[in-house]
Amino acid sequence: MEEQFAEYSDTIIPIATQYGLSVLGAVLILIAGYVIANWAAKSVTKRAGQSENIDDTLVPILGQITRIFIIIVTLLAVLGQFGVQTASIVAVLGASALAVGLALQGTLSNIAAGVMLLMLRPFRVGDAVSIGGTMGIVDAINLFTTEMHSFDNIGISMPNSKVWGAEIQNLNRFDTRRVDMEFGIGYGDDMDKAIQLIKEILDEDDRILENPAPLIAISNLGDSSVDIRVRPWTHRSNVWPLRYDITKKVKERFDDNSISIPFPQRDVHLFKQN
């Protein structure tokens, strides 16, 4: 009995020692890799955020790529700890990636669209945009989604493929914007006087640019009104405040000068039949 135990001990203990050390080494590599991946991702994100040469849009993507790369290297090191040939593993992963890619075309299209958004940069983090009719401010461009919040502070998460495939309007691309407004006056009112009053209002506002010059013109003879189109230019930060202020001032100036702003109406003529 003692001889059999000694024989088993001589066989099992070396194997247990060998694989036990391999398992212990693999666990240590996993822990170290996980810690290093998180530390490296945070470090890259911090340094990239402080750099003036790297756009804010790329900062979170660089951190994510760094973390994923280190985790992949860690997993390969763990497999090598058990004597697995990593070259064959890489080949298998390549074939598996092809199969998974065919099955997850939608997900990969989001990644591809995210890469295109980062390369061509139709917008950046902090820009006010309209994407397929959805308006908001860009918070982040991730590998799969673009994160935004609306002007009334509602969170919006859009798949990158839909962002890239939609019409993108960047409201922050240029420093100056045109403010389009239209005011209607009655057919019995003096058009030249109304135009002069609007011109005086625009001249009094320092937010309106002299070049390009604002446009004031009769745009349409409507069913109930003569429409005057007003198109001043201003800095993009003044677009909505200027629109609100000019609209209020035009109404007040028209009232003071007896110029009517008609509402839709219809004349009905009755004919008496004998």
Kindly indicate the confidence band of residue 103, based on its pLDDT and cuts at 50, 70 and 90.
very low
Identify the domain containing residue 43 by its residue range.
2-103
- Let me know whether 241 and 211 are in one domain: yes
Listed in sequence order, the residues at least 6 apart from 33 whose beta carbon sits closer than 8 Å to its beta carbon are 70, 71, 73, 74, 75, 77, 78
Q: Is the pTM of this model over 0.85?
A: no
| 9 and 95 within one domain | yes
* pLDDT for residue 82 is more than 70: no
CATH number at residue 82: 1.10.287.1260
Q: Is 136 a domain residue?
A: yes
Please, are residues 151 and 107 in contact by the beta-carbon 8 Å criterion?
A: no
Query: Number of folded domains in the chain?
Result: 3
- Read off the CATH number of the domain in which 162 is found: 2.30.30.60
Using the predicted structure, report yes or no on whether residue 264 has a pLDDT greater than 50: yes
Q: Are 82 and 147 members of one domain?
A: no
Tell me what the mean pLDDT of segment 100-107 comes to: 53
Provide mean pLDDT across the span 49-69. 73
Q: Which parts of the chain fold into alpha helices (H)? A: 2-50, 59-81, 86-103, 105-120, 160-164, 191-204, 239-256
Same domain? For 163 and 127 the reply is: yes
Same domain, 158 and 186: no
C-alpha torsion angle, residues 74, 77, 79, 84 (rounded to 10): 150
Task: Look at residue 265 and tell me if it is in a domain.
Answer: no
Q: Using CB atoms within 10 A of its CB, is residue 174 exposed (0-12), middle (13-18) or buried (19+)?
A: exposed
Q: Average pLDDT, stretch 177-195?
A: 93
191 compared with 119, residue with greater pLDDT? 191
- The model's pLDDT over 172-183, given as tens digits with 9 standing for 90+, comes to 889 999 999 999
Q: What mean pLDDT comes out for the span 68-97?
A: 69
Instruction: Work out the average pLDDT over 69-73.
Output: 81
Indicate the average pLDDT of the chain.
81
CA gap 69, 66 in Å, rounded: 5
